[in-house]
């Protein structure tokens, strides 16, 4: 028996290694890993990924587990086994009696008796768990545990591959755990039943909205204690505590689905769920830049650099810092050009000290030499005042250097500079920035006041533009605007 098990485990490891060394997508590699384990141990197997922010586990690849058990509900990393925090294997000999089982009743209905959870780790990070579900009481031996730890290590390599394949892999991440979290929620790791679900997941990823695919099945009708009708919503959005069901059929054709939703709301009044009709879905696709109603609001944006919540959090931090520094004075806030509008409006509302506001406008002229001209000067007298310049983005610093020289000639008591975005890679002039929101890479960004040919200013987030070679070649004005010094 021992020799037979050893051979089975050797074959399983060999198959997993072979799968990793192919061109398969990570999700398909994980399928082969869990199937190899299931065959070797004659049990159900699942790889779950760990979301530390929401303290939950999500099934990513499974084999041999009933659909109803997989969709029994969200798995809490606190209430379920606990191996991701212990960072060592956790064994449940009797699932009906052990307090570490989050869903003991559902496990019993699925015929599951014993469970083992082995953490999937990479260095100091816990990426998830490899779990085996046995239908009879199973004493997991040291050999079993070592085998599963090996397969968990291979699963971790596969999950981490998804991170390395991201477009920004060349940049050093400030927080590896956050990068891994982004990697694990990407739609490329999930097998969707319909293309519209993949499109919806892409939209959620684009706007940095956390989601779980088919997280739970709700029993709607029972006969003699057996469930004969169930309903599984397509998505769950944890931060909104909202289930979302998609339908790409026309509204008049979704009568049966609406009946199920009414029944679900009657049986589970605490559940928040919404049905997204075809017209609603088309509008979402249009916002994302695809589909029959596609407009230009977000078309041409390659990725989100900073989400709306991230921007608002950083603006609040800057406002607190500025309020503390000017608590004994009444500064004059000076906005430059048009891009500052979103930033300055949000910033001034959170500054707690009295202040005055003024604006300046400039124009740039090309040719043999670069010329800056002030087309609108200040209305307020800043002699003896503390001046705070508000900029949306600083690139070369040439424009700011000119403005500082111009304003210093008016005799202010002090001048400080606050910019939401600093792009030091393009710096030419040697200037000092007193308040900086974000230091950004050498990419052309739009949104939150920043534009490309007067477009994208009203986006609530900041994205990296991917406007295409043809757009750049055909529009000389766009080219000049992209290169404008600031």
Q: Residue 270 is encoded by which pair of tokens? A: 């605490």
- Could you give the number of structural domains in the chain? 3
Q: Are residues 284 and 333 in the same domain?
A: no
Q: Are residues 143 and 178 in the same domain?
A: yes
Task: Give the C-alpha separation, 310 to 377, whole Å.
Answer: 33
On whether residue 438 sits in a domain, the answer given is yes
- Report the predicted TM-score, pTM, of the whole model to 2 decimal places: 0.47
Q: Which of 273, 295, 317 is the last residue of a domain?
A: 295
176 and 225 fall within a common domain: no
Q: Return the pLDDT at 353.
A: 94
Residue 310 has phi, psi (to 5 degrees) of -65, -40
Q: Among residues 270, 43, 25, which one has the least CA distance to residue 165?
A: 25
Distance between alpha carbon 152 and the CA centroid of its chain, in Å?
A: 25
Low-confidence ranges of the chain (pLDDT < 50): 1-2, 166-185, 286-297, 366-370, 469-485
Cα distances (angstroms) measured from residue 139 to each of 40, 133, 475: 16, 12, 70
Burial of residue 104 (number of CB atoms within 10 Å: 0-12, 13-18, 19+): middle
What is the predicted pLDDT for the residue at 132? Answer: 92
Q: At which of 149, 164, 188 does a domain end?
A: 188
Enumerate residues 6+ apart whose C-beta is below 8 A from 337. Answer: 360, 361, 362, 392
Instruction: Tell me how far apart the alpha carbons of residues 82 and 126 are, in angstroms, rounded to a whole number.
Output: 12
Identify the pLDDT of residue 206: 57
Euclidean distance between CA atoms 117 and 115, whole angstroms:
7
Which residues participate in catalysis according to the annotation?
Answer: 395
CB 26 within 8 A of CB 164: no
Q: Which domain holds residue 224?
A: 192-295
pLDDT in tens, 20-76: 888 787 878 888 899 999 988 988 898 888 877 667 787 888 888 887 777 777 777
Q: In this predicted structure, what is the pLDDT of residue 415?
A: 96
Residues 178 and 217 in one domain: no
Contact at 8 Å (CB) between 116 and 131? yes
Per-residue pLDDT at 463: 84
Q: 3-state DSSP call for residue 89? A: coil
- Report pLDDT for 293: 38
Residue 72 carries which DSSP code? Answer: B
Answer yes or no: do 209 and 184 share one domain: no
CA distance 47 to 152: 8
């Amino acid at each position: 028996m021992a020799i037979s098990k050893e051979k089975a485990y050797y074959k399983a490891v060999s198959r997993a290694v072979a799968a990793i060394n192919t061109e398969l997508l990570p999700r398909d590699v994980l399928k082969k890993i869990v199937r190899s384990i299931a065959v070797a141990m004659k049990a159900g197997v699942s790889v779950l990924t760990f979301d530390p922010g929401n303290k939950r586990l999500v099934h990513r690849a499974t084999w041999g587990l009933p659909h109803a058990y997989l969709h029994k509900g969200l798995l809490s990393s606190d209430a379920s086994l606990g191996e991701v925090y212990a960072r060592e294997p956790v064994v449940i000999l009797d699932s009906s009696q052990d307090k570490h089982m989050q869903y003991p009743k559902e496990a019993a209905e699925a015929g599951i008796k014993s469970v083992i959870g082995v953490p999937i780790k990479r260095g100091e990070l816990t990426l998830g768990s490899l779990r085996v579900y046995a239908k009879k009481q199973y004493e997991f031996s040291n050999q079993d545990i070592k085998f599963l730890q090996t397969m968990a290590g291979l699963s971790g390599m596969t999950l981490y591959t998804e991170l390395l394949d991201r477009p920004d892999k060349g940049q050093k991440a400030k927080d590896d755990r956050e990068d891994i979290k982004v990697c694990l929620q990407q739609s490329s790791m999930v097998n969707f039943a319909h293309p519209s679900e993949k499109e919806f997941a892409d939209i959620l990823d684009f706007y940095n909205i956390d989601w779980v695919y088919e997280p739970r099945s709700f029993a709607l009708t029972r006969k003699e204690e057996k469930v004969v009708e169930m309903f599984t919503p397509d998505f769950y959005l944890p931060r909104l505590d909202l289930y979302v069901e998609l339908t790409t059929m026309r509204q008049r054709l979704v009568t049966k689905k609406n009946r199920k939703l009414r029944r679900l709301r009657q049986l589970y009044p605490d559940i928040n769920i919404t049905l997204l009709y075809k017209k609603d879905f088309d509008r979402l696709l249009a916002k994302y830049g695809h589909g029959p109603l596609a407009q230009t609001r977000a078309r041409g944006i390659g990725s989100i650099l900073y989400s709306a919540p991230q921007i608002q959090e950083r603006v609040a931090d800057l406002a607190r810092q500025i309020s503390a520094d000017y608590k004994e004075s009444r500064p004059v806030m000076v906005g430059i050009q048009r891009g500052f509008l979103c930033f300055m409006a949000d910033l001034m509302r959170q500054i707690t000290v009295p202040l005055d506001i003024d604006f300046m406008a400039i124009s740039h002229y090309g040719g043999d030499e670069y010329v800056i001209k002030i087309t609108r000067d200040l209305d307020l007298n800043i002699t003896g005042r503390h001046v705070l310049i508000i900029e949306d983005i600083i690139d070369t610093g040439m424009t700011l250097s000119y403005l500082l020289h111009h304003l210093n000639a008016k005799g202010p008591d002090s001048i400080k500079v606050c910019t939401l975005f600093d792009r030091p890679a393009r710096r030419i002039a040697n200037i000092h920035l007193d308040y900086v929101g974000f230091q950004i890479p050498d990419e052309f960004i739009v949104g939150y006041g920043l534009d490309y040919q007067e477009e994208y200013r009203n986006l609530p987030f900041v994205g990296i533009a991917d406007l295409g070679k043809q757009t750049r070649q055909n529009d000389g004005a766009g080219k000049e605007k992209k290169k404008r010094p600031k």
